C-alpha cells in the first residue's frame, strides 16, 4: 500500500486521539440521553458527563466550570464573544479593538459590527506578527468596550504579550477577549494571570472531535447577549441541544494535554527547520524567533511558485496559511500585514507538528521539502538569475 503523506498540518486540525474516541463511543449508543432531561437516568447520566467535561475545559485555562459555555467551535465562540458583548453593552460604548492578523472569524465579525454602527480599531503588527501593548493602551477610549486579540497566531505562531495587554485592559476598565485556540493545550493559558474576560477554544485543535468548542465568560462581570435562543441551554447563553458525545470528547482531550511536552515538540520543530535551512538558501522564517508556539514553523522559500510548491509537495501534508482561508487566492493576509512581500508570502509553508509526529518523520519531511524546492527551482528563471549573479561575486 502506498505510504500516506507525513501529516504536518496540525494547526488546521489534529487527529482525534484514540482515547478521546473511546470515551465518546458510549454516549452514541448506550448513554444517549439528552443532558436537558434530568428526570430520568439517561438524562442524568448525560448531564453528569457534560458537567465533568465542563470542569475539565475550565481546568485547562484556570477558570470555573460555570464560566464555560459549550459551542459548535471557535468560530461560533468568537462571534458570540464579539457580537454578544458589543450588542449587550451599547449603553456603555461602541468601540472594539482588534488586530490585522486575527482569525477570519474575528475579522469578519468586526466588519459586521461596523455595518451595525460600531467603531472598530484595527491595530497593526510588527515584522514578527506581534502587537505592541502600548498601541493597545493608546487605542483605548472612553467608548471602548472590548479588546480582542489572538493569544498565538495560527499562521506564524507568534505569542502575544497577554499579561501586559490584560493588565492594561483591566486598569482601563475594558474587557479582554482572546482567541486562544492555537495556544490552549500547547502552552499554559491562565485567565487570572492574563486577566482575560472571554476566551475562545476548539476541541479539534487539541486532538478532540470536530464540531465542538467553548467560550469562557468571566462571571458575573461580563454581560453577553446570546445569539442562539429558544431553549435556555448553557445558562441561556447558547440554546440548542448539547452535543453530549462531542462535549465528552472535548473534556477528555483537555485532560490529555497535560501529558504533552512542549519542549520535546519544540525540539522536533527546530530539527525540521535546521534540516531544511542547512540544505537550502533563500529560506526565511516568519514569526517571532523565540516567543512562539512550540509546534509552529512558517518558512518562506525564495524563487519558487507557491501554488506549484503545494501541489508538488506530495509526501508531506502542510498548508500555506489558515485552513479557513484556503479557498482564497493570493498571499496570506497575515504575512502581508507583517510586511512580507507578495511573492515571498505566496511561497511560504506552515508546518504544524503534533502529538503523533515522530522523530522518524522529521528527516523524511525535510528531505521531501528540500527535494521539491530544488526541483522547482531548477525550472525557475529567477533562481537561475540568482545563481548567475552569485557566481560573479
Q: How far apart are the first and last CA of the chain?
A: 49
Cα–Cα distances (Å) from 1 to 4, 27, 283, 313, in that order, read 9, 34, 34, 19
Q: Which residues pair with 178 in a beta bridge?
A: 199
* Cβ-contact 180, 152 below 8 angstroms: yes
Active site residue 324: yes
* Cβ-contact 293, 186 below 8 angstroms: yes
Cα–Cα distances (Å) from 137 to 29, 140, 179, 291, in that order, read 52, 5, 19, 21
328 closest CA partner among 107, 68, 73: 107
Residue 320 phi/psi, 5° resolution? -110, 20
Gap between the Cα atoms of 181 and 124, Å rounded? 21
* Cβ-contact 77, 215 below 8 angstroms: yes
Catalytic option among 16, 83, 254, 324: 324
Residues annotated as part of the active site? 324
Amino acid at each position: 500500500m502506498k505510504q500516506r503523506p507525513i501529516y504536518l498540518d496540525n494547526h488546521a486540525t489534529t487527529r482525534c486521539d484514540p482515547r478521546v474516541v473511546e470515551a465518546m463511543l458510549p454516549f452514541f449508543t448506550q448513554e444517549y440521553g439528552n443532558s436537558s432531561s434530568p428526570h430520568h437516568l439517561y438524562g442524568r447520566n448525560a448531564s453528569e458527563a457534560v458537567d465533568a467535561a465542563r470542569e475539565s475545559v475550565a481546568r485547562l485555562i484556570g477558570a470555573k466550570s460555570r464560566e464555560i459555555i459549550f459551542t459548535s467551535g471557535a468560530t461560533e465562540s468568537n462571534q458570540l464573544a464579539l457580537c454578544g458583548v458589543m450588542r449587550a453593552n451599547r449603553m456603555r460604548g461602541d468601540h472594539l479593538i482588534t488586530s490585522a492578523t486575527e482569525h477570519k472569524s474575528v475579522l469578519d465579525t468586526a466588519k459586521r459590527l461596523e455595518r451595525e454602527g460600531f467603531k472598530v480599531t484595527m491595530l497593526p503588527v510588527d515584522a514578527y506578527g506581534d502587537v505592541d501593548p502600548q498601541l493597545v493602551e493608546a487605542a483605548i477610549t472612553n467608548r471602548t468596550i472590548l479588546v480582542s486579540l489572538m493569544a498565538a497566531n495560527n499562521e506564524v505562531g507568534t505569542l502575544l504579550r497577554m499579561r501586559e495587554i490584560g493588565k492594561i485592559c483591566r486598569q482601563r476598565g475594558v474587557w479582554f477577549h482572546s482567541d486562544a485556540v492555537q495556544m490552549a493545550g500547547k502552552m499554559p493559558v491562565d485567565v487570572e494571570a492574563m486577566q482575560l474576560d472571554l476566551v475562545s477554544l476548539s476541541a479539534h485543535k487539541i486532538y478532540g472531535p470536530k464540531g465542538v468548542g467553548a467560550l469562557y465568560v468571566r462571571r458575573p462581570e461580563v454581560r453577553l447577549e446570546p445569539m442562539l435562543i429558544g431553549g435556555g441551554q448553557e445558562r441561556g447563553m447558547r440554546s440548542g441541544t448539547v452535543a453530549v458525545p462531542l462535549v465528552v470528547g472535548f473534556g477528555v482531550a483537555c485532560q490529555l494535554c497535560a501529558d504533552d511536552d512542549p519542549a520535546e515538540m519544540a525540539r522536533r520543530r527546530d530539527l525540521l527547520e535546521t534540516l531544511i535551512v542547512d540544505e537550502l538558501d533563500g529560506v526565511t522564517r516568519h514569526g517571532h524567533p523565540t516567543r512562539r508556539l512550540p509546534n509552529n514553523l512558517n518558512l518562506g522559500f525564495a524563487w519558487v511558485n507557491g501554488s506549484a510548491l503545494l501541489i508538488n509537495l506530495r509526501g508531506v501534508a502542510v498548508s500555506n496559511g489558515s485552513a479557513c482561508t484556503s479557498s482564497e487566492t493570493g498571499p496570506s493576509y497575515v504575512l502581508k500585514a507583517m510586511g512580507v512581500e507578495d511573492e515571498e508570502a505566496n511561497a511560504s509553508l506552515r508546518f504544524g507538528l503534533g502529538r503523533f509526529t515522530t522523530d522518524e518523520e522529521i528527516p523524511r519531511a525535510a528531505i521531501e521539502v528540500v527535494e521539491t524546492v530544488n526541483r522547482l527551482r531548477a525550472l525557475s528563471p529567477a533562481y537561475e538569475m540568482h545563481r548567475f549573479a552569485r557566481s560573479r561575486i
